[in-house]
Structure 1
Amino acid sequence: MKYHTKRGFAARTGRLLAVIACIWVAAAVALVAYGMRMPSQPADVAVIFGNALDDTGAPKPVLAARLDVGVRCYRTGQCPAFLVSGAIDGPGLNEATAMRDYLVARGVPADRIAVDDQGDNTLATAQHTLAYLQTHRLSRVLIVSQYYHLARARLAFERVGIARADIFAAYPRRFQLRDVYSSWREVPAYAVYALRLWVNPDARPISFRPMLYLMSLFS
């Protein structure tokens, strides 16, 4: 009897896990499709989300691909200005300033680039973007990130007060194997953002910057 009970429990658990996996995969596909279908139109400012730097402080391929999207956007006249937003990963590893330098080296004037090195996460970048738009009396924004991240970025931008009709998007047309994992990880991240911003649209970003904390101990 015990054997059959354990076997039945294992079967039910297996079915439950299979259902959860199917829902998870479907949600990931939906987020990816949503991001890919977001309109890409001329905007007042392109907001480029940060990502990892290599040991020399130069953008790694994922970030470089985003910046290349921005360069093309500038050269075609679709985005006359930029807000580069990223975190500080350690001594000499400032994502935002590295992004600015990358754009400048490819012909974007430095005075067209605003630097936000407090963009630890998507919500922080959204709030800083709203402040930038209000300060410069602008409205139309082009989000530049990976396609699987665009749905959550748009959600954050909308919830901080940027009009849905003024939010556009662009992403690198390059697939990497790591995108599969990133798309899977985006499902709980989107769910947390949706719930948290539904409960409190004015929620403050939650972030911990370990490298800055360690640096402060020795400064």
Structure 2
Amino acid sequence: MIINNFIKWLKRVLAAFIGLFMIAELAYWLGSRGASAGTGSGNCAVLVAGYPTNTNGSLHPMQRMRVEVGVNAYRNHACDRLIVSGAAAHNEHVEAKVMAVFARELGIPDDHLIIEDRALNTWQNISCSLPYLENYDRIFIASDNLHMHRAKRYLCRQKPLWCDRVQITGGYLPLSLTGWTVPFSLHELYSWIRDITFYESSRSGNAPFCPASH
């Protein structure tokens, strides 16, 4: 009896996990449909949103994906700048510096690469990067297929007049982040609910904020 109950419980747990996994994969696929391929070339900048570096200082797979997406946009649209943004928000490793090393390996020259190393979260990724973006006709936000939408919302809230200039470019291959898509999707859902509930209706919640230099 105990064994049978345990098997039933285990089946329910597995079914729930598989359901969540499939929903997360679908969310990432649907997220890609909102990305814009963009038109034209030149006079554009690409902002690569940060993600925590591995505790040993190595590049996290999500960082790798975001930088690759950003470099592709930089090349495809003949942009003038690639901005990597992120401080040492979760460990002692500065996200932007780690991503910049990889961007250089992919061929981005130093005079086209900007390291923004103050931002501690997505809102600050936008805020701290605004001075580097203001003179461009087009702004590409590079991230994964879900996070890019939130980053664009944040830029449009901080700089409503810039919103028409913003395009999003994301990356994700089905099953390429197995084990990560469920928590990533849940976090984006939480962030969306939190923003609608607490911040989007507040003037102070829409003001840019960038921490002082460390």
TM-score where L is the length of structure 2? 0.72
Q: Which runs of 5 or more residues in structure 1 are unaligned?
A: 1-24, 213-219
Q: 1:194 aligns with which of 184, 193, 196?
A: 196
Q: Which runs of 4+ in 1 moved over 6 A?
A: 28-32
Q: 1:164 to 1:203 in 2, by over 3 A?
A: closer
Alignment-derived partner of residue 143 in structure 2: 145
TM-score where L is the length of structure 1? 0.71
Provide the identity percentage: 21
Measured in 2, the distance between the counterparts of 1:32 and 1:156 equals: 22
Could you report, residue by residue, the CA deviation over 1:69-108 in whole angstroms, capped at 9, with x for unpaired residues?
22223333443311100121433x1111111111112211
Measured in 2, the distance between the counterparts of 1:188 and 1:63 equals: 21
Measured in 2, the distance between the counterparts of 1:31 and 1:98 equals: 25
Q: In the alignment, residue 145 of structure 1 is paired with which amino acid? A: S
Alignment-derived partner of residue 75 in structure 1: 75
Alignment-derived partner of residue 182 in structure 2: 180
Equivalent position SS for 1:141: strand
Alignment-derived partner of residue 168 in structure 2: 169
Measured in 2, the distance between the counterparts of 1:174 and 1:31 equals: 9
Q: In the alignment, residue 154 of structure 1 is paired with which amino acid? A: K
Measured in 1, the distance between the counterparts of 2:126 and 2:195 equals: 12
Q: Whose helix fraction is larger, Structure 1's or Structure 2's?
A: 1
Q: In the alignment, residue 148 of structure 1 is paired with which amino acid? A: L
Could you report, residue by residue, the CA deviation over 1:31-85 in whole angstroms, capped at 9, with x for unpaired residues?
9735531313256111101112234423111111111122223333443311100
Measured in 1, the distance between the counterparts of 2:119 and 2:163 equals: 21
- Number of residue pairs aligned between Structure 1 and Structure 2: 182
Alpha-carbon RMSD across the aligned residues, in angstroms, is 3.1
Alignment-derived partner of residue 122 in structure 2: 122
Alignment-derived partner of residue 11 in structure 1: none
Equivalent position SS for 1:59: coil
Alignment-derived partner of residue 91 in structure 2: 90
